Amino acid sequence: MTRADLQTPVRDEAQMIAAILAGNTELYHELVRPYELAVYRMALSYMKNESDAEDVAQEAFLKAFRKLSAFRGQSKFSTWLISITLNEARRRLRHDKTLRFESLDEPPEEGAHVSPAILRDWREIPSEALGRSEVRELLQAAINHLSPIYRQVLLLRDVEDLSIEETATVLEISLSSVKVRLHRARMMLQKELAPKLKSLNPKRRWFQWS
């Protein structure tokens, strides 16, 4: 009926969901398989340790299954799933709040300006560089150091590839808050990472990677 017919194979999630609701529950495994990393990554960004993040992720997949009939296709299934994941993580953190340093209350928006690291040139770092654990660790540390309100917006928009609107919906904040936080988060990341990545990138070295 649409151009989807022209592309094979096609994942028709609406059809999969209808089949699951009609009793073919086995299909749920296949429905969620592509989203395991996204759900885990978002859970990890809230929980900060792997085992709590895995618990939250499992719980989110289970809740999504139980609530599947409430999914009306107003959003993408993946966005709905991420929304359930964030709620589950928040619920868990509220529950454990006394044990945690990081307040769930939003910190005041930090100073209006985040200036980037000033560079005179930039030599492209290819994705192959992520084969090096020191590069992965630098990125993880920089993301983890962002305060939660910045980290969440950045991950949803730039890692999970949600739109500005979807990000605003799942975080229950305004579009302009998303834009402001996203801008600051990106600048903070550039400020933190550009000098470090640059110094890891000795002359010509990356050349061999590309």
Give the footprint of other proteins on this chain (CB under 8 A). Answer: 20-21, 25, 28-29, 33, 36-37, 40-41, 44, 50, 54, 57-58, 61-62, 65-70, 115-122, 124-125, 127, 129-131, 135-136, 139-140, 143, 154, 158-159, 161, 164, 179, 182-183, 186-187, 189-190, 193-194, 197-198
Nearer to other proteins, 38 or 93 (CB): 38
Query: How far apart are CB 178 and other proteins at their closest, in Å?
Result: 10
Closest by CA to 116, choosing from 60, 186, 180, is 186
Using the minimum distance from each CB to other proteins, give the nearer residue, 35 or 93.
Answer: 35
Q: CA-CA distance, 5 to 147, in Å (whole number)?
A: 44
Structure tokens at 103: 């307040």
- Of 105, 183, 193, nearest to 144 by C-alpha is 193
Q: Least distance to other proteins from the beta carbon of 102, Å?
A: 18
**Helix segments in 67-131, DSSP class H:** 77-95
CA dist 122 and 48 (Å) reads 32
A 10 A CB-CB count for 84 gives: 21
In angstroms, give the least distance from the CB of 100 to other proteins: 20
Q: Which residue has the tokens 């590309």?
A: 210
Neighbours of 180 (CB within 10 A): 16
CB of 5 to other proteins, least distance (A): 29
Select 93 or 150, whichever has its Cβ closest to other proteins.
150
Radius of gyration of the chain (CA): 20
Closest to other proteins by CB, 103 or 210: 210
Residue placing its CB nearer to other proteins in the complex, 4 or 132: 132
- We find the least distance from the C-beta atom of residue 90 to other proteins, in angstroms, to be 16
